[in-house]
Structure 1
Amino acid sequence: MSHLIENMAYVGIMPWHGLGSRLTEKQPLEVWQREAGMNWKIQESPVHFKADKVGALGTIHSFPEQKVLYRSDTKAALSVVSQRYQVVQPREVLEFYRDLTDVSGYELETAGVLKGGRKFWALARTGQSAALKGNDEVNGYLLLATSCDGTLATTATPTTVRVVCNNTLAIALDGTTRAIKVPHSTRFDPQAVKNQLGIAVSQWDGFMYRMRALSERKVQWHEAMGFFMNVLCNTASDSPIPEVIPNERALRRVQYLYEGAGRGATMPSANGTAWGLLNAVTEYVDHERRARSIEYRMDSAWFGQGAIIKQRALSAALQLVA
């Protein structure tokens, strides 16, 4: 397994990224913590540096404005951050779900550690589910992820997974995701996040209403090509990640997926529809977009440029039914 993923665990069918160790269902959080490689703590140490070399050792100075974060098990350094940085422990990510799984019917499906411990997450199914025409099933999930190197705020994201292809998509309405973000400059308050998520998760019906509208919206060939150009080649002037040269390989691939090669592309909900356009992009990002490894693609699809592309695709698709 690549060095990028330290460890991870899952229940049910193998996740879309094809990685991890399988657990039986209804395991306690303590088992998840061990099997997902999250049974360690982030520890802190003051920053020291060597200067004014005298003999073989030199003089050791301190830098009180910064601290080193490191793993309690391997002692491997994770990052250097300011003294104000509020750490969220791997255990806290799993504990976030304890009452949700015990009382609210959530079920953990995957959890793990990326980049040697610099980023970790847990994903739980909420119990929400909907089917588009042709029995195209979409399930609701809640993703909680954080980092200890400043690359990701502690973020709770209502997410959907299309069952036929395991494509993932953050729930978004009116052009904005329903993610709740807690910057590391403030303390992570799980209950406050859950209170905010109560509003976000309740918007499932509104989101799926729009997805049904996409599945009913037939598109012409020129509309499909315009959609893919806009999403993948950043023809929009306000794109957050502009590209000068059109991505011809990506264009050919998403068109191929849309025209029948994609998983679920021939279902009545997706065949020749705006829903099919959206899922051609999400399948490309989640499963096929060029990356150094599957692990890097997963990181991008959830937290990086891949996630931005998927949200751009969602916005473009919703414009077709506006």
Structure 2
Amino acid sequence: MGHNIHFNEKTGKHSFFSVKQPAWHKLGKVVEDYPTSAEAIHYAGLDYEVIKSPLFTKCGDLSVGTNGLENTQTAIQVNSHFATMRTDTNKVFGIVGKDYGIVQNKDAFSFFDAIVKEEKGVKFETAGALGDGERVFITAKLADHILVGKDDLVEKYLFLTTSHDGSGSITAAFTPIRVVCQNTLNAAMNRKSNVVRIRHTSGAKERLQQAHKLMGLVTDTADKLGTVFNQWAKVKIKDKQVKRLIELAMAPNKDTLDRLYKGEYEHISTAFKNQCEEAFAYAMMGDTQLLPTTEGTLFGAYNAVTGYFQNVRNFKSEEDKTKSILLGGTAQMKGQKAFDLCVDFAKNGEGILKV
């Protein structure tokens, strides 16, 4: 699996840091103590500036003069667009419009600094840059956690990513992670979003500094998730219903869903059936699925889908995995579908999971 962590040729270091434990790619700096935002920026190699540089085009022709071929082209500045580039390496990231607002890496950390002022115990755990430094990510762990059963812990994280190439908004998300298997349990409740998105405009920095106010839903969401997960840990579900939930949650399109409902398995793709079998095997035999909170329970069924994408499925790169699980990609959508199916099962019983 590729990592795409930025390597700075000037410093000879990878732009990544983690606390106490090295990441799977074994790159970057490992520190023993949780850093301040200023230290995290330095450890992760994010202490560079990004600017908007003017773009130019040329008009005119090459002509033949007394001295031979002459260049009579004139350089004209393009006023509607600019190139974004980092000043330490002069690497051009992308082309953006004139209204695009640059959010420096240090400004991205201001989102967490604002939260720290109100909620003690926020700890920076990882940060880094991808590609040539055009995409930056930060994860911070909140002080408390969600307890499912007697000892199944779900830690609460905030994840933020931003880009410097015009490819996306600044995105900050509440991300619960089940400790025993590092399984990300992303789900929006009651049609609320666990995500804050800020466009790169002139006021982006100021809105980022205030974004913690919008993240007030984190405490409310975590409390509700804790109640839901503990309820699900007491709801029994049969193996055949778990398999059905996996199939319905992971169906790639309406046609597949229709065929599942009609029992037309011979017309369903082998690749999809293999995915479902792998997820079901994880549900039945994974070590973390054999705990009192997960074995034969609805909470375990939900973890079967989310855990498949987190711990079983292979992605082309860590960046692809992050996009899929955290940034509205396939894994997050399938996890949300599984969550919704579990909500329906807990409320109405067998329902559409009846086989």
> What's the TM-score, normalizing by structure 2?
0.80
Match of 1:116 among 117, 124, 132: 132
Match of 2:30 among 13, 16, 22: 22
Match of 1:223 among 225, 231, 241: 241
Residues 198 and 208, structure 2, Cα contact 8 Å, conserved in 1: no
Are residues 127 and 268 of structure 1, via their aligned partners in 2, closer, same or farther at CA, if it must alter by over 3 Å?
same
SS at 1:270 equivalent? coil
Question: Which residue identity is paired with 1:193?
Answer: A
* 1:41-96 alpha-carbon deviations (Å, 9 max, x no partner): 11111222345452586543332111111112211111111111122111112232
Q: Distance in 2 between matches of 1:91 and 1:82?
A: 22
Alignment of 1:105-254 (within 5 A): 105-185=121-201, 187-188=203-204, 189-236=207-254, 245=269, 247-254=272-279
Match of 1:11 among 4, 19, 43: 19
Tell me whether 1:49 sits opposite 2:57 in the alignment. Answer: yes
Residues 176 and 186, structure 2, Cα contact 8 Å, conserved in 1: yes
Post-superposition offset of 1:203: 2.8
SS at 2:233 equivalent? helix
Worse overlay, 112-121 or 11-20: 11-20
Post-superposition offset of 1:186: 5.7
Residues 3 and 115, structure 1, Cα contact 8 Å, conserved in 2: no
**Structure 1: gaps (5+ residues):** none
Question: Which residue identity is paired with 1:172?
Answer: A
How many correspondences in the alignment? 317
* Aligned counterpart, 2:9: none
SS at 1:97 equivalent? helix
Match of 2:48 among 40, 45, 68: 40
Residues 43 and 70, structure 1, Cα contact 8 Å, conserved in 2: yes
SS at 1:126 equivalent? strand
Are residues 128 and 156 of structure 1, via their aligned partners in 2, closer, same or farther at CA, if it must alter by over 3 Å?
same
Q: Distance in 2 between matches of 1:37 and 1:282?
A: 32
Are residues 56 and 34 of structure 1, via their aligned partners in 2, closer, same or farther at CA, if it must alter by over 3 Å?
farther
Are residues 111 and 194 of structure 1, via their aligned partners in 2, closer, same or farther at CA, if it must alter by over 3 Å?
same
SS at 1:172 equivalent? coil
Question: Which residue identity is paired with 1:29?
Answer: S
* 1:208-236 alpha-carbon deviations (Å, 9 max, x no partner): 11111222222223321221112222355
Post-superposition offset of 1:294: 3.4
Q: Distance in 2 between matches of 1:166 and 1:265?
A: 13
Alignment of 1:231-310 (within 5 A): 231-236=249-254, 245=269, 247-261=272-286, 263-303=287-327, 304-310=329-335
Structure number with higher helix proportion: 2
Q: Distance in 1 between matches of 2:324 and 2:25?
A: 12
Post-superposition offset of 1:20: 4.4
**Structure 2: gaps (5+ residues):** 7-14, 63-68, 258-267, 348-355
SS at 1:315 equivalent? helix
Are residues 61 and 162 of structure 1, via their aligned partners in 2, closer, same or farther at CA, if it must alter by over 3 Å?
same
Q: Distance in 2 between matches of 1:278 and 1:19?
A: 32
Post-superposition offset of 1:301: 2.2
Are residues 115 and 177 of structure 1, via their aligned partners in 2, closer, same or farther at CA, if it must alter by over 3 Å?
farther
> What's the TM-score, normalizing by structure 1?
0.87
Post-superposition offset of 1:30: 2.1
Residues 50 and 102, structure 2, Cα contact 8 Å, conserved in 1: yes
SS at 2:39 equivalent? helix
What is the root-mean-square deviation in Å for CA atoms of aligned residues? 2.7
Question: Which residue identity is paired with 1:132?
Answer: V
